Amino acid sequence: MAVATATGLSSAEAAARRADHGPNRLPEPRRPSAVRRLLGELTHFFAVMLWVAAGLAFIAGLPQLGVAIAAVIVLNALFAFAQQARADRAAERLRALLPTRVTVRRDGRRRIVEAEDVVVGDLLLLESGDRVPADATVVMANRLLVDTSMLTGESEAAVVDQDQTLYAGTFAVEGEARAVVVAIGEQTRLAGIARLTTASPKPVTPLTRELQAVVRLVAALAVGVGGLFFLISLVVGNPLRDGFIFAIGVTVALVPEALLPTVTLSLAWGSEQMARRQILVRNLDAVETLGSTTFICTDKTGTLTQNRMSVVEAWTPSGSVVVDGVGYEPVAGLTWSRPAAREACTALALAAMRCSTGYAVQAAGEWTAHGDPMEAALDAFARRLGIDSDEDRHRHHSVLRFPFDPRRRRMAVVFDGEAIVKGAPDTVLPLCADGEQVRAEVESMTSRGLRVLALAVASVAEGLARTPDDVERGVRLLGVVALEDPPREDVQEALAVCRKAGVGVAMVTGDHPATASAIADQVGLRRPGDPVLVGSELPSNDRILAAHLDHDGIVIARVSPEDKLRIARALRSRGHVVAMTGDGVNDAPALHEADIGVAMGRSGTDVAREAADLVLLDDAFASIVAGIEQGRATFLNVRRFLTYHLTDNVAELTPFVVWALSGGQFPLALGVLQILAIDIGTDTLSAVALGAEPPARHLLERSPVTGRLMNSTVLRRAFGLLGPLIAGLSMLAFLVSMAAAGWRPGGPFPTGHDLLAASGAAFLTVVLGQKANVFACRSSSQWPGALGWTTNRLLFPAGAVELTFSMVVLLVPGIAVVFGQAGPPLAGWLVALVSPAVVLAVDALDKRLRAGQRREARESRRLAELLRISRRDQGS
């Protein structure tokens, strides 16, 4: 759009355009209200099933049961809502990146206006330190250097010249410019990233899918069994109303009311454990999802490396120096190749420091980088050679500065009639007559993964340096410096653990492919033959792209936000559960798209943190691996307490089965309220304690934990072993107690207090059997003694609280009668007290037999393989 670049728009034209196109604001995020999110926690499938169960309980004349179930639903919803209260605010954080006031030219005058009043066609007047308020085309630039890292991931600021585009949210580091606005608000590239972040819903987590399947199955079983018993009740001659109420009681009894809060509390416990490992969980489901991860796309700087650049070596024609020191502290060990090298290296360090704007600064006793970490490392190098860089900056100032040009790959400054040129060796050395003598040294440094800079100087007559070409004539080589961002000490071990655990790792970065591959080689991420791809060269076909990317150890460099988004989608299309790390605004869409987004806590932007599910408080890759271990433990813990809950269901259903098979003649051993007391009062805390079972040592020595949550092992142990065992012991206690009251087979059943006491014996046996069962469920292959009885410190306190509750509802007369029971006779007590030992003994015997079967199966496979090899050798 045409504009008079000298005068800018008129105030009237600017007002008219604002009225037509609206304010320069990023789009408001569309997030559900707090009320709607709370209603979502109260109305998902499992919650609806429980609401139906509560309603049926009221219909059946069991108001206590209905109130208890409703309380469970509400309390769980409030807890889950509180845990998830930090909703996705990525788009809101993006708006904070825009300045509040900017300078424009209107009516031929310089004016400061609100950023939201900027319109298309406005002439922006930008200076060093300004943040760009909208997308704009540069019409005049004077040594303009712009930090675009938040959009591109590129760590170095870039020169922007006339006719090039500036993007909203970027930052002018140096120089000045005039630029005509070409896009505002929703039309900017920054808004495009916001749309990418919210364009698609967050993927459904593996745990959510599995829990939905379990809940549907349990709901179907509960309704089916309830309907079956309704028919049986009618067949045995019960009135229609009594049969309906009885069927409702059976249905409600089979609904695992405590499963939902147990899952929520288990995930909350996992998030607490991750916090101790420097991982902040923003989304509870992410605890388990991280454990299901099969592919990690990791950034480079700060995650695999320490993000602390250091000069480790310098070369001059007079000699070299090796620097023993990491970070920005001035004190370090120096090793000289020969004494004459000191003076030349000092001159080299002084020139490098003067050619930089970043510097090292001490705060709270720690030396850190201010500005570009690489330039801060050059400043620290000068300090280590005895140069007072603060005093030098105070006394000497550059009279001319040519910022780094990514096309020329070098920069220059003029100090006291001397030009200093700094840049990549392959661009600086050809300018020097003596440049060839250092090429072998440069190749040696780069082959070790070091970042190398060359420095040269030339005399410049005052007033004759107007362009970079003017100061680059007749330069002589001062030397080269080699820098490294050292890998984190635990990265190699963490990568090795990932490979052993069956988790693929790729480096996805905005940096140059040479830098990325060198670091990948150094930390052991990339092995010989592993590919290095560039974002601009990625295949356009998504299926081909997915096939290229599905490779452990791959490096993808120079990626854009759209590239990272495609990478996450492509890997997910291959069946991977993808964890994506990131720290910049450009990473937010991919963090949202991945199964689990992992943001950096120290170096990351607020935008990235708000788009992520997890935040690494220490930015360390090893923390991701620790989180994977905790996530896998959480998934297995859900299986453990699912087995525990289902065992209860078998024991609770058995009395109704016996009643049905007897044609309604055999009395019910357990009533509906007793079942509710077991489900909520005597099992919930133990199930939560199972959810806090610490990770087993072997969790990261095998592929990710996958498969159905309710797998064959869970079904066999719950319905084929532990459930029938506790049910049998409970019925035995019931029969023994009735026999103690005088009942004999074929005779009339006890009534009144004797029947209540027999029911109390059955109740107590289930409770005590479950206290043993909780230890048995800690492992499907090892008995509790092998795990250590006290390694899960929550089990004994949980059991103590639950036993206290069971004694109250069993032995306090006023309360016991409400639950339809009384204190058992001595015979009932004996069966109940023996039941824990029986449960543990049968469980240990089963695990021992199955271990023997597994050994035999392994031996059979080994012999079969040996036989196959023998036959093959004989045939050859």
Q: Which residues are catalytic?
A: 299
CA atoms of 590 and 581, how far apart (whole Å) = 9
179 beta partners: 124, 138
Whether 477 and 347 have beta carbons less than 8 Å apart is answered as: no
Q: Which of 483, 540, 549, 560 is nearest to 515 (CA)?
A: 483
CA atoms of 384 and 777, how far apart (whole Å) = 61
> Please, which residues have CB within 8 angstroms of residue 15's CB and are 6 or more apart in sequence?
none
| 185-207 b/e (C-beta count within 10 Å ≥ 16 → b) | bbbbbbbbbbebbbeeebbebbb
CA atoms of 509 and 587, how far apart (whole Å) = 10
Q: How far is CA 180 from the centre of its chain?
A: 41
CA atoms of 490 and 61, how far apart (whole Å) = 62
CA atoms of 192 and 181, how far apart (whole Å) = 17
Residue 263 φ/ψ region, left for φ over 0, alpha for ψ in the -120 to 50 degree band, beta for the rest:
alpha
CA atoms of 104 and 372, how far apart (whole Å) = 29
3-class DSSP assignment, residue 405? strand
Q: DSSP assignment, residue 155?
A: S
**Helices and strands, number each (H, E), in the chain:** 33, 25
Whether 68 and 104 have beta carbons less than 8 Å apart is answered as: no
| Residue 589 structure tokens | 């869409």
User: How many alpha carbons lie under 13 Å from residue 67 in its C-beta half-sphere?
Assistant: 4
Whether 104 and 124 have beta carbons less than 8 Å apart is answered as: yes
- Which residue's structure tokens are 């996530």? 631
3-class DSSP assignment, residue 54? helix
- Which residue's structure tokens are 């196959």? 868
55 beta partners: none
Q: How far is CA 390 from the centre of its chain?
A: 42
Q: What does 644-673 look like in DSSP terms, one character per residue?
A: HHHHHHHHHHHHHHHHHHTTT-SPPSS-HH
Determine phi and psi for 180, rounding to 5 degrees. -95, 125
Q: Which of 533, 820, 870, 550 is nearest to 675 (CA)?
A: 820
